[in-house]
Structure 1
């Protein structure tokens, strides 16, 4: 009798070949592409669909109303992080990763088929809100499962490099959203985009989920997750257990995320509106500038991940903290007054370079604070809370400062939060639970 063939999901992580490890990491992080594509499509196309869902004469008020729904979607993320984090800890990283993708596609399909305000009145923005809440629930679960999976599957010497795949796919989702926008801007008129063209990317997002579900069907489960399930320790994963047994760790994740996510959304999603609403660029030019800057940001991720492996996480967070505190105000001030597309690109790229100090270490820094049985929840829930409060409100707060003629207050706000996040990690002791859990 021949030996029984080992299923892909049962291969011990230490025995994985380089190709198997890369395939698993790509599959584990691919959901970020779909999830964040769907999430950013809303932001990228706000300039076109805001007038048909929020009929107002003032364009800033229209954008503000759309931004409020964008922010409210973030407030479902903690609930999603709680539910999906516990599910991922108890049922396995693979199960959590698979479930989150389908939920996002449903929300995208709802938006793609949504009638306008003129057709169904106030029900239109209400249904839009419901769809965004569903997407927020999904996205809240994706981050924790993905971050935990990547950190557990990576080898100790290359954690930063492997973990960078999360932001590579995350940013790829945003770039894909911007690429779809650029193609549609080149092929459709402004009126066609505003009337029906904006629906196309939401249909694309719903369809992309099928590919990711196929990629994830043969994912390799991590050793830590399997060991936790066999020992029964994973049954202790709950929000009560998290805040009772690991309150300081949860607080560190929350504060580290606060400035990082604010900086990330300020230089990615908000700058597109900023270039149009403050700097005076056309929508098309603003999209092109934003897409080029975000592409630059994506290419930085594996380099920064490798640097964090070589020089340590604190070096990277020092770079983020000092750079963010010193240069956020002048970068946005110069951006507000420039009329040069090239200058605008370099200013945004400089802000994203600074933000890379956070993105290069955040997945590992958060995962290392918690043991395997509660790691997915421990990473996801405080992150989702901070992202909801600070990331989700980035555009709304920026537009409020703009509406009250005190836009520089927004720059100060970003600088202060970056400083708080950097100091949180620099001053804290961060023992690596990842190494303790390796089997």
Structure 2
């Protein structure tokens, strides 16, 4: 083969891998757009699904439903992890995005409490459980797929696009809500306008399904046929330390991530006393900045190592969370709020840019999707999914600042996990792994 042919083949392979990253992450964007549409519209639909009460009480009820959706994630992590390890990453990702579409569409057309009484919050809960099951399966499979398809030596950079699209979905949800806010009156928003983002999410899902249909499978037939493939027993028999380590740093990572993203909008409104439109504009700008931070932080891990990134994240988060929360709570300028939240999320970016990759690199291919998905889902369900509810509960109890110390403690747990985590370069599970082409 001539040098020109080799170069052309290399460029074709690079284009194929980039398209695979785009295709797999497009579904990730849709999943998280739908998931965060719920968080960003909760201020408007809370009165539609729950009995009358003060704003904090209604937000507590919607946050509880949000948290219960997270409790479905471990089931999703197990089920979709099994499908991905046993029947292929592509099949798992296509099923998950279809389920997210169904959950979003269901919320968009649900009748209100005034129409059907107590059945309304029950149906809302069921729709959220379907979404939670789907997202529980999406994370582990997409993280596994992106780590396997990325170019060696640049896996941190490429894998960072998982959170680029995750944050992009959150940002897109925020932008859609902002546009709806500007186009409709407050009365219209609370009556029917909050439904619009959920309809849009269903349309996005069809696009993602089309893109994912063209993906190349990254797991080999040999790997999928092994008796250990998708085996929970295999994980706990031979990979217990890695599994517990992922639980440890995901607990702190997911808690602080949700604190400074989904909960922060409500924190600016309830504690810093910003109006809802100003808070939404601030968080839209914050999320855009946070999104573009991911690739540079991912590239940082390629140069200096995953362990270095994890130690910087957990160490800085442990030291800085309390003063940052106090400062944001007392802020009066939206520009100052933007700067403080971006600073917090820059620290979190050491983790989120390589979140899926650092976990995938700890496990062999036959149990990778299930290990990553289940460990992440368990920690995320307990600590990430409950972040809003716990924060609002502390505020409602008159002990809001205790929440800051709770986040700090869990970041300290993540620091310990980062210290003891195995070095993925030494473990080498992903080294030399190819894809089916």
Q: TM-score range by the shorter chain?
A: over 0.9
Q: Which residue of 2 aligns with 1:183?
A: 179
Indicate which of 270, 274, 290 corresponds to 1:277. Answer: 270
**Distance between the aligned counterparts of 1:234 and 1:37, measured in 2?**
36
8 Å CA contact 1:225–1:372 kept in 2: the answer is no
Alignment partner of 1:335 is 2:320: no
How many residues are paired up? 424
Indicate which of 395, 407, 418 corresponds to 2:400. Answer: 407
Q: How does 1:41-52 map to 2 (within 5 A)?
A: 41-52=37-48
Deviations 1:222-262 (A, max 9, x none): 1x434413xx2165322233223322221111111111101
8 Å CA contact 2:251–2:414 kept in 1: the answer is yes
Q: How does 1:193-208 map to 2 (within 5 A)?
A: 193-208=189-204
**Distance between the aligned counterparts of 1:220 and 1:16, measured in 2?**
14
**1:136 CA drift (Å):** 0.5
Q: Which residue of 1 aligns with 2:255?
A: 262
8 Å CA contact 1:93–1:225 kept in 2: the answer is no
8 Å CA contact 1:89–1:225 kept in 2: the answer is no
Indicate which of 297, 302, 314 corresponds to 1:309. Answer: 302
8 Å CA contact 2:362–2:422 kept in 1: the answer is no
SS in 1 for 2:363: coil
Shift of the 112–294 alpha-carbon distance from structure 1 to 2, 3 Å rule, reads same
Deviations 1:55-114 (A, max 9, x none): 232111100000000000000010011000000101111111111000000001110000
Alignment partner of 1:212 is 2:208: yes
**1:386 CA drift (Å):** 0.4
Alignment partner of 1:421 is 2:391: no
Indicate which of 353, 358, 371 corresponds to 2:351. Answer: 358
TM (norm. structure 1) is: 0.94
**Distance between the aligned counterparts of 1:235 and 1:312, measured in 2?**
29
Alignment partner of 1:101 is 2:97: yes
Alignment partner of 1:391 is 2:387: no
**Distance between the aligned counterparts of 2:230 and 2:322, measured in 1?**
41
Q: How does 1:37-76 map to 2 (within 5 A)?
A: 37-76=33-72
Deviations 1:164-202 (A, max 9, x none): 110011111000100001100100000000000000110
**Distance between the aligned counterparts of 2:223 and 2:149, measured in 1?**
15
8 Å CA contact 1:168–1:298 kept in 2: the answer is yes
Alignment partner of 1:17 is 2:13: yes
8 Å CA contact 2:256–2:348 kept in 1: the answer is yes
Deviations 1:42-67 (A, max 9, x none): 00000000011112321111000000
Indicate which of 214, 223, 226 corresponds to 1:228. Answer: 223
SS in 2 for 1:155: coil
SS in 2 for 1:17: helix
Alignment partner of 1:319 is 2:312: yes
SS in 2 for 1:111: helix
Indicate which of 136, 143, 148 corresponds to 2:144. Answer: 148
**Distance between the aligned counterparts of 2:227 and 2:58, measured in 1?**
46
Which structure 1 residue ranges, 4+ long, deviate > 6 Å from structure 2?
Answer: none
Deviations 1:367-390 (A, max 9, x none): 011111110001000100000000
Q: Which residue of 2 aligns with 1:120?
A: 116
8 Å CA contact 2:331–2:337 kept in 1: the answer is yes
**Distance between the aligned counterparts of 1:140 and 1:428, measured in 2?**
23
**Distance between the aligned counterparts of 2:333 and 2:353, measured in 1?**
30
TM (norm. structure 2) is: 0.94
| Unpaired stretches in structure 1, ≥5 consecutive residues | 1-12
Root-mean-square deviation (CA, aligned residues, Å) is: 1.5
**Distance between the aligned counterparts of 2:355 and 2:415, measured in 1?**
11
Q: Which residue of 1 aligns with 2:3?
A: none
8 Å CA contact 2:73–2:135 kept in 1: the answer is yes
Indicate which of 252, 277, 282 corresponds to 2:245. Answer: 252
